[in-house]
Structure 1
């Protein structure tokens, strides 16, 4: 099962975020108070970033021909990549410095060029290596000598001034999903502290768009599985089959993007997701370090008839929130849902104005005509979102701006001042995307690429009104839109336990069984079968 600080044999990960020197333009909406900030980004509080490193041009590149390992491909024969389609890979390990696979022990600030499009990866994906524009990796740091950040970016390109993974203490084991363009089948990897790194390929994006296979369709996010609602946690080592089709995924979809959350893990373990009819892979997606920990990571997994398997070495409760799927043969050909990878670039860093988003705050971020994203025909974006300097344990939700906030989350700070990254694929509206924090935390977002297609309209919904941080919109069970106000509470499920939102600075933590509040009383606001909410006698302001 493993122990804290130890990576069990199969495992993987990635995440984080670092500042650039680009100018930031973003709309912040805190309980209805909107402001546009314009400020240069700067170093964060964890570790000083590489000095004077600016993002490379925000276009994905790949080399026309591979050269000897460690040597840059000749003279920018790299070409801009347009739309690409996805091909899943039954997770394959390409880097494990503990065993000398794909690289060696990372020393501080040293960059290694890691071959990620190996012959095995290309064969499993059914593509030629030169067709690969970008790779999806689960990257894990373990055995770090101290706090650090780690960056993955296109090989032999300038450091982008961002990050994918944030290590907060020595010997921490932490994963995150990473999407990166490749050059000659390689990516660059750098850490500011000494550590071992493990990387498993989840899939690849290949050039030659306009096909039926591998185009992305966003779905929310939508919660498709929560073992707490069934009172049926995973047994240790149980490879449970989970059907994702109820979330709207077609039966012939080739892959699904979703957030996997381990809730109050029974102990240190690794958790892996893979196609239901495939053999268990030598890989992992999530690495809880200790009992009671709630931790999340995004997963892009292949599918067998709309199903995956999930296994945890220690078992426990798990949640799956579907962000979207990749089309199968029944989908018609088209140019919607093609992926355009970008060199990582920072879109927002709320630390720059010196004001941490308070409990209940929503941050809206525009993407049009920024960091390589065009002004139109963008349906979704791939991001690395980081919560840092959190007020307390909580969660972060990301969704299309001005749409109803979904009942899902993407990451879970478990204590004050923690830094937690997560890969996120989210739909965007004509306004952009939104990030919500119920407990208050600084938020950062780095873009990794975008998906083609028409942007949704912002739902016709206004920003949260100025009446208070809890006066925001939500979607009811009947699909209607309603508003919460500071004088009522409502029971809802999030990734770390049942919460109630009374009036006050943030949600009250609950540590009892689902359906009851912390003191054993019933929730203050109950839903009727028609989706409307009514006050219970216990409701009081």
Structure 2
């Protein structure tokens, strides 16, 4: 039964790593990730006395591992592999063993892998082929454009989404978004709420996950950025996990597809704007209905990932972030009430000079803080997105040693092979004010295991902010540093609970 501070449905507790310091660090254990697909080749052609067998599995965003074997044990024969991108390899294969060969494609897309083998003694030959599609996807900016607004009937039937039910939103083929997109970046807002609950966004046709994207209370308007898998029918589902009906809004800022577009380069959060101190723009609150423009990217960038925070607002309102040089859209990124400090992740296209504009949609002034966490574009290093079925990896509500440590951090281990991870962090059971910071850990797992770990430097950037009694969620896109470990800091003076769900990762190979 949803209450005013529910962080989605109860799930199995995350495991704890042994040997973690008892005071300031506890490690959550992530589920094993890696989506693999085996595809059998067509029937081999050639002599009945000689056949070549192939199977391919996805090994990374850009790569495959090809298994080659023959139907004869001796003698071992040279098999030539044409990868379909202009490159070839020669391997020695026989029926008595399987040969595995890995290949990384420079560009995403579909390829036909062909294998050919000949026996010069018997004069026989065989060929086979298998069609593969790379796992990763790259980002194309779009909009910001409103795809869904149940208040007006945009993208769905007009009227609130009923409790414990969902609405289906068409993404692929909507406007100029092409068919075949794998994931979408949406800013989803719950509004006109009359009770507590949560919203989950997931691929159409998939089982609804236990993970949530937005948590809301009666009377709140709450946005959150979502990177969600798109179903085979080109749609996503938005599920209202509360008892009472709620209006839902979804604004698209880009999509991911298996075409070369823009790779992602994560970075440690860098503060580019703080109006309280004059960082990046004029010092002082942004006037009501006012705006400022700031350079956030270099040439070659198409979009940026930001964390935008409003603080000291005089009354309720919203912030809109959009490419510089364009008219402000009707979409919003951060919604706030008088006196509230609120943050939200933002993925936004940049203007021609790498600039974005932030507009204060309230009638009175407010301070604005902007942290840059990553860049999309042709010059960004080419990390491709791999969306996954949402999985819960940390839930301190079920941990035996109690809630998230005050002024301390929880560390989460990831694979070092990935460049960055897409998370949704939720803070609940809050007892005071505070904020969440996320940063790579400078230590390795061996450092923690052998007691040689140094205390990480406390970050200054915020990912989400809360007050007593709130449940607050926000999307987190974080690099994993040199050791594949990320720290999630409780920057408040009171205990709270932390819930972290994994929605995907970025892979550079």
Give the alignment's TM-score, normalised by structure 1: 0.66
Gaps of 5+ in 1: 1-15, 40-54, 62-78, 123-127, 369-375, 455-541
Partner of 1:275: 323
Partners of 1:26 and 1:365 within 8 A in 2: no
1:192 and 1:20, CA in 2 relative to 1: closer, same or farther beyond 3 A? closer
From the two aligned structures, give the one with the greater strand fraction.
2
Give 1:291-370 correspondences, 5 Å limit.
291-304=338-351, 305-314=353-362, 315-328=365-378, 331=379, 336-354=382-400, 355-368=402-415
Match of 1:251 in 2: 299
Question: Following the alignment from structure 2 to structure 1, what is the Cα–Cα distance between the partners of residues 26 and 11?
Answer: 21
Which runs of structure 2 are paired with 1:113-124 in the superposition (5 Å)? 113-122=168-177
- Taking a change above 3 Å as real, the CA distance of residues 108 and 278 of structure 1, as seen in their structure-2 partners, is same
Report the CA distance between 1:95 and its aligned residue.
Answer: 0.6
Check 1:264–1:31 CA distance in 2 against 1; reply closer, same or farther (3 A cut). Answer: farther
Task: Identify if the C-alpha distance between structure 1 residues 240 and 107 changes in structure 2 by more than 3 Å, giving closer, same or farther.
Answer: same
- 2:28–2:413 CA contact under 8 A, matched in 1: no
Task: Give the drift of 1:192.
Answer: 2.2
1:35 CA displacement: 5.3
2:480 is aligned to 428
Structure 2 gaps, min length 5? 1-5, 38-131, 443-455
Write the distance in 2 (CA, Å) between the matches of 1:100 and 1:277.
30
Any residues of structure 2 matched to 1:404-415 within 5 Å, and which?
A: 404-413=457-466, 415=467
1:28-177 alignment, distance < 5 Å: 32=23, 82-104=135-157, 105-122=160-177, 128-130=178-180, 132-168=181-217, 170-177=218-225
1:25 aligns with 2:15: yes
1:449-468 aligned at under 5 Å gives the runs 449-453=504-508
Equivalences, count: 379
Give 1:358 deviation, angstroms.
2.7
Local SS of the residue matching 2:277:
coil
Alignment of 1:473-512 (within 5 A): none
Counterpart in the other structure of 2:311: 263
Once superposed, what is the RMSD of the aligned Cα atoms? 2.6
Q: Is the 8 A contact 1:345 1:447 kept in 2?
A: yes
Deviation at 1:118, TM superposition (A): 4.2
Alpha-carbon contact 2:17-2:29 (below 8 Å) kept:
no
Alpha-carbon distance, 1:357 to partner: 1.8
For the 8 Å contact 2:28–2:412, the answer to whether it is kept is no
Task: Determine the C-alpha separation between the residues in 2 that align with 1:416 and 1:324.
Answer: 31
Q: Equivalent residue for 2:44?
A: none
Q: Deviations over 1:31-85 (max 9, x none)?
A: 756556789xxxxxxxxxxxxxxx9x98599xxxxxxxxxxxxxxxxx9871111
SS in 2 for 1:287: strand
> Per the alignment, do residues 113 and 404 of structure 1 end up closer, same or farther by CA in structure 2, a change over 3 Å counting?
same
| Alignment-derived partner of residue 227 in structure 1 | 275
- 2:36 & 2:476 partners in 1: Cα distance? 19
SS at match of 1:351: helix
